Chains A and B, each alone.
Chain A
């Protein structure tokens, strides 16, 4: 009985994926990134937590180079990456007035 009877038509307004949820969020995107990655340290880290832990999927792996790609415009400014991977993430707040703009919060 733990299966959920999900009616697809009814479900459409409830978002599921991070990608879909980010469309709900209002941003004022800066030209410059507020995040830097030390790529050598990132490559050397076996855990690479930023790739899975970020609530906004800001970090993805470039399969070819093994480097970390940063979609800083996705950032919800929680700072989790900085706590989870302080060794190689240099994360600051975006410049004043830029970044996420919560309407509900």
Chain B
């Protein structure tokens, strides 16, 4: 390979992190190429479906006028499911109907990422689909390029930005990561279910292009440490469940069995009734959070997005926004390194500092204890929903029994089955974990 064919930067993966890095580099006139293993960008990309867009809106202002977004989210809903009931919080505001629409959209990634890749190409970046990076080329302890499949071609560069996703092979190759601990990796499955637009808007009480994002805990995932979700698209619903591989393995569960239980739940079924399954997908989510972040740079290598474990797995379920932010910061770091003519880890470490100063690491830090808390207090998601629904059922049950007597019974039952002290303790601990 001739020297002229050497790139400054090769980016592995055309997801939100890789594309945001490519866009930033292209605008700065840096020679970069994105290598994407899918036949087209987006063809391998899956998420539940909510895209947070503070970064995208800076990169492509008012992107929503052109982009294949589904709905802007005006309604957030959080529920605990018991076997036959539900307790929830529902929040809705028409304030989110104004630009920038609270930076929260439902999207279908195969469509959205394909569009995003087109914008990035239009800005001058090179995107090469159908090319899987099988390994990094190392020389003298430095990453100097990549090997690709099929064909076994070698491409040379000064620096690689890995945006390869949750399966972070390249990070493992250079020892920045090991295969994930099953406790810190979730597997999620999802179905896209087609329904007429009008039916969706009626069932979810939505006007026009408004959308609803609903996160469900407890028996939605058989009380494992995970959650279910329902997001409204234009004329389909994204419905799925996710839980840690550790819990799935421990309880001998298949993700699809949990999804089917979720779909049949009396609170869920009326929303998808009469719909048509259009697609089924599976994906892993790195949920280790702040305490399990890897070193993010090596000589000639930067990790971004899921490959770097940048997922806020709290109730925000935010990943793509962090991915885009990390892509931009990685690109800026590459630009600085290029000016210095030095792509060593020492120089690239500026990327870690940029991340630490951004909302990315600040948010991960804030929620660092949440997943450990629920892992250690499995009873909260496993037992509380059933007990709470039973208590409320008794409370609201209409009979000729005097209400004062019902109240006394419900309170006695509450004390017996949960206990005031235990509840206060759990709420206190949960509060601390969230701070």
| Chain A interfacial positions (CB closer than 8 Å to B) | 1-2, 4, 6, 10, 13-18, 20-22, 24-25, 28, 47, 49, 52-57, 76-80, 82-84, 86, 92-97, 99-105
Contacts and interface: CB of A to CB of B under 8 A. Distances in A.
B279 interface: yes
B149 A96 contact: yes
Interface residues of B, number: 63
Given A55-B256, A79-B167, A96-B37, A21 B277 contact: yes
Contacts of A77: 44, 282
B277 A84 contact: no
14 contacts: A14-B276, A15-B191, A15-B277, A18-B254, A25-B280, A54-B254, A55-B254, A84-B245, A97-B129, A97-B150, A104-B192, A104-B281, A105-B110, A105-B281
B279 A25 contact: yes
A79 B249 contact: no
B249 A21 contact: no
B275 interface: yes
Nearest to B280: A21
Given A102-B43, A103-B279, A94 B132 contact: yes
B253 A24 contact: no
Given A47-B249, A102-B110, A96 B148 contact: yes
A55 B264 CA distance: 18
A25 B148 CA distance: 26
Given A55-B254, A80-B185, A103-B110, 10 more contacts: A1-B266, A52-B253, A55-B256, A78-B284, A83-B179, A97-B39, A97-B131, A104-B279, A105-B110, A105-B281
Contacts of A93: 37, 132, 167, 169
A80 B44 contact: no
Interface string B108-145: 11110100000000000000011110100000000000
Contact of B277 (A24, A47, A79): A24
Tell me the interface secondary structure of chain B in the complex. Answer: mixed
Tell me the interface secondary structure of chain A in the complex. Answer: loop
A95 B337 CA distance: 32
A92 B134 contact: yes
B248 interface: yes
Contact of B284 (A2, A16, A21, A83): A83
Interface string B245-282: 10011001111100010011010010011111111111
A43 to B, nearest CB: 18
B154 to A, nearest CB: 14
B245 A95 contact: no
B130 A96 contact: yes
6 pairs of A and B residues whose beta carbons are closest in the complex: A105-B110, A2-B84, A97-B130, A105-B109, A21-B280, A55-B282
Nearest to A47: B249
Contacts of A100: 43-44
A6 B236 CA distance: 21
Contact of B46 (A17, A49, A105): A105
Nearest to A5: B269
A49 B45 CA distance: 25
Contacts of A17: 256
**Best-buried of B179, B180, B260, B282 by chain A (most CB within 10 Å):** B282
Contacts of B163: none
B42 interface: yes
Interface in B357-400: none
B279 A84 contact: no
A1 B84 contact: yes
Contact of B283 (A10, A54, A78): A78
Interface string B143-180: 00000111000000000000000110100000000011
Given A1-B84, A83-B182, A52 B281 contact: no
Nearest to A78: B282
Contact of A24 (B148, B245, B279): B279
Contacts of A16: 260
B253 A105 contact: no
Nearest to A22: B280
